[in-house]
Amino acid sequence: MTQNRKVAAIVLAAGKGTRMKSDLPKVMMPLCGKPMIRHIINTLESMHVDKIIPVISPDGALIAKEVAPYETALQEKQLGTGHAAICARSKLCGFEGDILVMFGDHPVITKETLKKALRKKQEGYSVVVLGFHPKDALRYGRLIMNGDELVKIVEYKDASDEEKAINFCNSGVMVFDSDTMFDILSSISNENAAGEYYLTDAVAIARRRGLKCGAIECDPDELSGANTQEELAALEKYHRPQ
């Protein structure tokens, strides 16, 4: 992979997807005839990623079957994205390299984009975030930059008017260094309105420890997720070969 460094990928796939109005887990919803998570697995396989760990909920048997033979990690309770990522820790004992954290409902992200993030990581960053400039920033979290360095990720509801005017937004896809990732994640607090552990807090924690964080810009269409049938239909239109 990048400079012969090993790469692992944690795929967060424990979401229920109630807004899909389907009994299927969200990541099992079909896109161009295949479950969304299968598109991601295929992309990671095409990159020859060394380890793939999907994180599933206790009722994720369908997902576990779909991603086999890859071993899944279990998130017993949905306590936020930071908590979901740390649930994969035991599956990565002894792993040394770069760790991608991505979402099972982002099925059209390309290997070129993921490789771009991994290359950025090699420039001396401990954390790299994939960002994008949407047509309408709506309520996305904002990436606050200082030159080439990512200072923090601020959620829309917590952003000042000045920060809301920034339209460089957080996709949720991140790259970590195995040496520091789980130490950072274990320091994330759930002292917020939702009582959840947010992956986005990793940037502030890393910077407090003197670690360098960065971001790269990607195609907004590629970083689109699907939470509703309408969004899934839009992804299908984007993804289907012309």
Please list the active-site residues: 19
Virtual CA dihedral for 45, 87, 189, 148, nearest 10 degrees? -20
The answer to whether 13 touches 60, Cβ cutoff 8 Å, is: yes
Distance between CA atoms of residues 173 and 200, nearest Å: 10
Distance between CA atoms of residues 119 and 127, nearest Å: 12
Question: Between the CA of residue 132 and those of 203, 214, 222, what are the distances in Å?
Answer: 17, 13, 9
Listed in sequence order, the residues at least 6 apart from 190 whose beta carbon sits closer than 8 Å to its beta carbon are: 79, 80, 83, 196, 197
Query: What would the two tokens of residue 128 be?
Result: 């790299």
